[in-house]
Chain A
């Protein structure tokens, strides 16, 4: 919320001061700087998944949560299955889910209620902006309860339904994420699959999909056949529009994303930050090794992206394949500190140097950028990365940290300290609910540009 609600009572125009960390101009009253949070929604949003088991609801919930947190919208997911596991302790069989199992129904209702209470806590008390309520929610009655809950608490509701009848997709789903579930820890694969199919059957008879007519006043997106088709109804605000756009761009086709920095540059060797220098001799050596590595990986239809800075382009040139230049992939702009060494920065701008260590994510260089700014500028890159398949991104230290934080779900606090050394390729392969990372050091020496988080004084 904008904290300057007392606005109308003040005399204006008010004095402005520039917040020293973020370099944001703010009204200054009695020396106190009003803190403004850029807010995309006015009231919190409750996203509710809908669908039979093994339709990708948890996959979507986790991915969406990760994306929203990365772009700066505090989001948390609440998986009702998890609550059930905590309540039940031991899962015996699909019988628990039978529609005539009174005891089972009671427990499941309690779990849903418990989860909703935690949702209320998160959105109304803890300052969360979006909560993702991940459960089957297959009956109109259950959804009605949730809508009422949201109305009582002043939350907007947005449903995400996943509909899929392709038996291959469902089978693949079960193999990828159900076999490893705590529910089936004591079963072999065949037993687990058989039980899970029966579990799905328990839901099928009472499943009431979102209906174009009966549910026309609800806000929702219906995802059909893993994204071949979408039905979008009543998007009411910016955040819902962004969520729909995101959901329409993700896919589950297996692929890998390769991230690496440019080869060592002349300015790297001098210990200077930023600038637009070319590769050093070792940097050129790395480029050759990179080409060999890529060839050995035997990747189908690899796309290559670089920034518009000389060092990434020189690296890509060595690959002998077409590449696309993105200005958005340029390194963080260090403003007045461009091409300086850290020692020089400390000497000439000791206050700036200290502020940066205080909050490296939000700190903006004078006339430059912050990591927070970087994330905003990289969002279209992430969106396009989601659409693509096999891709190699040759970028820079701060940029790579931001991209990595998105894929590995790292917090804003950790992001600026992620380790992204020169001459090392990270191969990211989406698997189950997350991302497998393989780190390959290509055997060419370089300087170390990493600065660890400083000890608190």
Chain B
């Protein structure tokens, strides 16, 4: 029996309590969010070409990475292109159907917890190869099959993502469309969908007609359950998401972080400018979301549309540093100040939160944003960085340094496999609250002039 652990110590960065002496029984992963994945999982896409497999793979990979599950996507089309070099016509793909079996499985490693294998995988034989490979390695397998026979959707699909493809770069559009349809027929002859009877032991989800119907079989664990929930909430209806911070606040003017102050006069001007901008965009059925903090609500009030308050959209809690200036933090908590610059994503304020905590709390917001259509989210700097990182697929390392200046609206429009971003500065001056990633080294710096060069000029002048 292990001895009673009397002493705990709190890790300085994450603020997690861990045993003082390492003990074999307690293998502390020291994470600030529960880890649900024990064995790696292979997600295998199934379906004819132009059924949205790559769209789903990329989106799912982006979502999983954002919530903190290391995921990588392997697109067989890319590997084929590298192998075949120049794509002449669909004859090539008939040959490559056989050649595929030796490709890509070797690139799968257990470095990533989830690996998304994006290919047609349309034959039973092909899937059997994958299943035995996974069994050998101790991976779980989860299939995602996309089934669609609606010719309009398929044509739209082909236009949106195939014509930009390197395969068709020098081709005439009609010719390309014809060629692509022939390519699909090539696969259809040998296509055996997942069989609900014969394959009843497999774990899978079948998506019919872009999400009108789903068949879910044998979900094995937490992560598969989350994946299913996510897939059932996404849609492809065109829409735009508008992200903006609240107008400049009283505390912004004082160079203080956090708090719950109201808008400054310039902030109020911004709120009105935002209202005018929104009207000019002529958006159908716009939903407006704010946090529970006064400054976002005041901003939304000006827009003159019904809005919904989400506590989950509140700014990052700076704990003991709430309402301090960066200089004051540097002076009173020099170790904390240094630690934050060391790993801004995982750093948790004492009695406060980290960006990592923020992402966890924003997950239901992202899920609902996926369900919605046109939405304007009025939020805060750290929150907006997290949301932006999700839409633009930015890694944890870059997230805390994304630029989200005051008085600027970002319009995100999903397009093809990604997101178009348009930035609108509404021409009302505001303080700059952005701190660049520091280039200084990681010693605790008691000399404020060395530690503070990254704070924008305004604050230094104020000091």
- Residues of A whose CB lies within 8 Å of any CB of B are 2, 4-5, 7-8, 12-14, 16, 18, 23-25, 27, 36, 38, 212, 216, 228-235, 238, 241, 244-245, 248-249, 276, 278, 284, 287-288, 305, 308-310, 313-314, 317-318, 320-327, 367, 373, 376-377, 384, 387
Contact = CB atoms under 8 A, between A and B. Distances in A.
Interface in B281-338: 292-294, 297-298, 301-302, 304-306, 308-309, 311, 322
B8 A25 contact: no
A232 B232 contact: yes
Nearest to B36: A384
Contact of A229 (B215, B292, B304, B351): B215
Nearest to B367: A241
B457 interface: no
A322 B27 contact: yes
Contacts of B398: none
B86 to A, nearest CB: 44
B292 A232 contact: no
A36 B217 contact: no
Contacts of B268: 13
5 closest A-B pairs by CB: A13-B301, A317-B5, A320-B2, A232-B214, A230-B216
A314 B6 CA distance: 7
18 contacts: A16-B262, A16-B297, A25-B292, A38-B309, A229-B215, A231-B213, A232-B216, A241-B232, A245-B225, A313-B17, A317-B4, A317-B19, A322-B26, A325-B17, A327-B32, A367-B260, A384-B222, A387-B225
Interface in B1-57: 1-2, 4-6, 8, 10, 15-17, 19, 25-27, 31-35
Contacts of B311: 373, 376
A384 B361 CA distance: 16
Contacts of A216: 213
B304 A7 contact: yes
B212 interface: yes
A317 B309 contact: no
B8 A278 contact: yes
Given A308-B16, A308-B17, A317 B304 contact: no
B309 A24 contact: yes
Which of B26, B34, B271, B294 has the most CB atoms of chain A within a 10 A radius of its CB? Answer: B34
Given A38-B309, A249-B225, A235 B5 contact: no
A230 to B, nearest CB: 4
A2 B368 CA distance: 18
A327 B304 contact: no
Nearest to B322: A367
B216 A229 contact: yes
Given A245-B232, A320-B25, 19 more contacts: A5-B306, A7-B306, A16-B298, A27-B301, A38-B308, A229-B216, A229-B218, A230-B214, A230-B216, A231-B214, A232-B213, A232-B232, A233-B213, A238-B371, A241-B233, A241-B371, A248-B216, A314-B17, A327-B32
B229 interface: yes
Contacts of B214: 230-233
Contacts of A25: 292-294, 297, 309
A248 B214 CA distance: 12
Contact of B306 (A4, A229, A318): A4
B360 A327 contact: yes
A324 B34 contact: yes
Contacts of B167: none
Interface in B229-247: 229, 232-233
A2 B306 contact: yes
B296 to A, nearest CB: 9
Give the most central of A24, A27, A327: most B CB within 10 Å.
A327
Contacts of B4: 284, 287-288, 317-318
Contacts of B229: 241, 245, 248
B3 to A, nearest CB: 9
A367 B315 CA distance: 12
Nearest to B302: A13
Interface in B365-411: 368, 371
B368 A238 contact: yes
A244 B232 contact: yes
A322 B213 CA distance: 40
Contacts of A278: 8
B100 interface: no
Nearest to A376: B311
B23 to A, nearest CB: 8
Nearest to A36: B309
A68 B401 CA distance: 39
Contacts of B305: 7
Nearest to B4: A318
A321 B26 CA distance: 7
B445 interface: no
A234 B213 contact: yes
Given A229-B216, A231-B214, A326-B34, A317 B8 contact: yes
Interface in B111-155: none
B304 A8 contact: yes
B210 interface: no
B228 interface: yes
Contact of B25 (A5, A249, A322, A384): A322
A321 B301 contact: no
B250 interface: no
